[in-house]
Structure 1
């Protein structure tokens, strides 16, 4: 059953990653993954039914842990800018091996994988680390500039464009892991954001720079976070998703950003599967280089985004139709509803890159242990200690798969709870049956996400 459901969704989505994803597929394909997928789908369906008939859904709350004065963001930003400059130099002048170059490892492992996981747990750590705010503020002060050029009117669309360009660079472009290519691309992007922020103001970074927007959204599911106000930083501990319930409805550009995150990481998993390769006429056992599939994978990436956006919009419209004449308009309901898909996007991102963190993360430690290949041992690590043997062992691969399953299931259960709470808060659910369309979509994506993680894949 789960294979049929996954195939249906995959058919709807019809038209290598940065560091090659180390894989445990050979062993994973021997495990009984079908019961796990079916159990997850049933669990999400049952939870959706329960919250639909429950007379009351407790709102996720939080408690204050401590409060202290705000530390100026410029300090961390200037430090990050200095580290960025050093990494760019390493990218141009250092080892051309992606697994030995700190720039490549920092971008694709530390930033994109490890920091996402940290932000999902500990809150928006990126807020004090972005490499633009400090330099932009200093230059604007030196120039005596106080106004803008109207970029704020574009909302989050610049961040959407930046994120999709980044996703294309990671998934489709020819050499995203080449240190020199990555250094050149990162430098051009930094300069572009810097110039635009100097022209518009440093506050624009929060809505126009894709990494800042991305980590801002991911942090909303964290059980630990910090609120800023009146010159103080208040640390809170609460249920995951408590911040999402308190958020204002998303604008169209913000909703587009959330669906872009969900679609890009889904296509990142889909484009490596034997199923996708067969659809585009490629032998999974004889996969050509990236140049042979640039066009079709570009189309697949953007088509996946379009289809997922359409599915979410269709589910919301169906829910409004079932809610009766008193339901709010689509524009008023879509903004709050898309918020509930944040845990799904983040959960699949973490699960998708878990193996990369366990494998490529070892090379980060190697690079830190001897960053200039001078036979140093700054961390006290011996030579040749990196090992992937755990990916060939039945017990360890089963543990990884169970972690995938737990992450995906937890994210979808949280999404179901948030969707029901947001719907009641906004007055969508006047009839209990109205929750079914969005719930069905979440069940289908639970199955689809686990199918992606367990399906035979190349690369």
Structure 2
């Protein structure tokens, strides 16, 4: 029974960045230390000014031919994806009503959004093959109606923010039937959209989940090039703005490929990860939603929201306003820093081009946020998932939840710092691919270092806050 209660508490807010083990030193000291580490790492990387050395670090790596295994592996992953989606729907409807004993809830939050998502940025992106909605869309006719180019990827930005808002304000992790309803609604919308504008366009420009994994996959050390897989330094693909695989960009299929400082393109089968403000906004949203998910589980948020709700503002509107306002603040801060980069570097490179290139340096931060929370979450609830998998309709009454040691809270903090350190290095490499000379690339990074310090201190502070369920929801 104790295991059920502990697991239920963990599932109640599946996406939180907060709730690390309590620490015995002031939270402000942790935040200040994290910011200091980022500054120190920038000072260290500023000594690396040899472009050829930077390129050698990023471009070299062992390559393994995997062509003969691609077709078989794709078929296996497609089958796994379809079986997983079917299990979520069926078990969510007819399985136990208790969330911790329902395979649908555990599979979505523990198995997929925690465990699988970590493999995407730690290993490589397999979502294009595993994606059950993409597999189902291939069975339907496509009308290939023109997709309005003016929309770009903005629908995916709105959808990502909307999904996080739903996850925060509704008991998705506690109500299996509600989870099934959301999954079915997402399925209908996705299949209808893919049929209307074409599968490639939909999953490249509109579908938020496919775009999240596409960006996470670009951070991974294993990158597929044609029929081969290359092991590279994590984040190496970000410095050239490459995708992990050759994916058409739908309405922007003719978008220019990223070009290095020496004029060499990155390859005919590569496409720019970021082409416009819509892509920039999506990456910033990916960082913000993880921060927001942690913010709403802190005592500070409860203290902030309580008087607003008491004044008559609906709680759902409070959350929506905070979500939209925080996103605007994060996006404005990044764009403001990009304008300052143009000044500090003294360059003729446009602000739009600076934004397009440097926003990719935020992806390691988003991955570090995700890993900080979900590593412990996944480890703690993996035994529960394994036990429920043995008999989804009649799971064991005694479910095991691992009690992680107190020192694991320090590991979570280290993951946040590690993500920011990778971000500093990626920004450094991008600077030397974008600007000339030795001092100009270093000077260009000053505004972004300040921004990353702010991000680091915020995330470190959130991570050491005790969990507090908002009393006004």
**Normalising by the residue count of structure 2, what TM-score does the alignment of the two structures yield?**
0.80
Match of 1:308 in 2: 330
Match of 2:425 in 1: 417
Aligned equivalents of 2:190 and 2:383: distance in 1?
32
Distance 1:330 1:25, change over 3 A: closer
Match of 1:92 in 2: 93
Match of 1:341 in 2: 362
Aligned equivalents of 1:156 and 1:305: distance in 2?
16
Aligned equivalents of 1:34 and 1:150: distance in 2?
48
Distance 1:356 1:435, change over 3 A: same
Are 2:210 and 1:216 equivalent residues in the alignment?
Answer: no
Q: CA deviation at 1:37?
A: 3.9
Asked if the contact 1:408/1:450 (under 8 Å) is kept, the reply is yes
Aligned equivalents of 1:40 and 1:423: distance in 2?
23
| 1:215-364 to 2 correspondences below 5 Å | 215-227=213-225, 229=226, 232=227, 234-247=228-241, 248=272, 250=274, 251-281=276-306, 293-324=315-346, 326-364=347-385
Asked if the contact 1:249/1:336 (under 8 Å) is kept, the reply is no
**Can you list the C-alpha shifts for 1:396-438, whole angstroms capped at 9, x where unaligned?**
212x122112211111111111112112212287264332110
Match of 1:442 in 2: 452
Q: CA deviation at 1:153?
A: 6.0
Match of 1:393 in 2: none
The correspondence for 2:156, drawn from 156, 159, 167, is 159
Aligned equivalents of 1:128 and 1:438: distance in 2?
35
**Can you list the C-alpha shifts for 1:351-398, whole angstroms capped at 9, x where unaligned?**
1233322333332122112211066xxxxxxx62514544xxxxx212
Distance 1:149 1:81, change over 3 A: farther
Aligned equivalents of 2:212 and 2:421: distance in 1?
22
SS in 2 for 1:235: strand
Distance 1:155 1:23, change over 3 A: closer
Aligned equivalents of 1:431 and 1:369: distance in 2?
55
Asked if the contact 2:17/2:373 (under 8 Å) is kept, the reply is no
Aligned equivalents of 1:246 and 1:299: distance in 2?
36
Q: CA deviation at 1:53?
A: 4.9
Are 2:430 and 1:403 equivalent residues in the alignment?
Answer: no
Structure 2 unaligned spans of 5+: 1-8, 242-271
Are 2:20 and 1:20 equivalent residues in the alignment?
Answer: no
Match of 1:71 in 2: 71
The CA RMSD over aligned residues, in Å, is: 2.9
Q: CA deviation at 1:329?
A: 1.1
**Can you list the C-alpha shifts for 1:321-345, whole angstroms capped at 9, x where unaligned?**
1222x33111111100101101001
Are 2:175 and 1:178 equivalent residues in the alignment?
Answer: yes
Asked if the contact 2:143/2:195 (under 8 Å) is kept, the reply is no
Aligned equivalents of 1:366 and 1:81: distance in 2?
21
Aligned equivalents of 1:282 and 1:27: distance in 2?
29
The correspondence for 1:193, drawn from 190, 193, 210, is 190
Match of 2:123 in 1: 122
Structure 1 unaligned spans of 5+: 1-15, 376-382, 391-395
SS in 2 for 1:360: helix
**Normalising by the residue count of structure 1, what TM-score does the alignment of the two structures yield?**
0.83
Aligned equivalents of 1:25 and 1:335: distance in 2?
34
Distance 1:23 1:50, change over 3 A: closer
Q: CA deviation at 1:310?
A: 0.9
Q: CA deviation at 1:315?
A: 1.0
SS in 1 for 2:139: helix
Asked if the contact 1:29/1:456 (under 8 Å) is kept, the reply is no
Match of 2:108 in 1: 107
Aligned equivalents of 1:295 and 1:162: distance in 2?
17
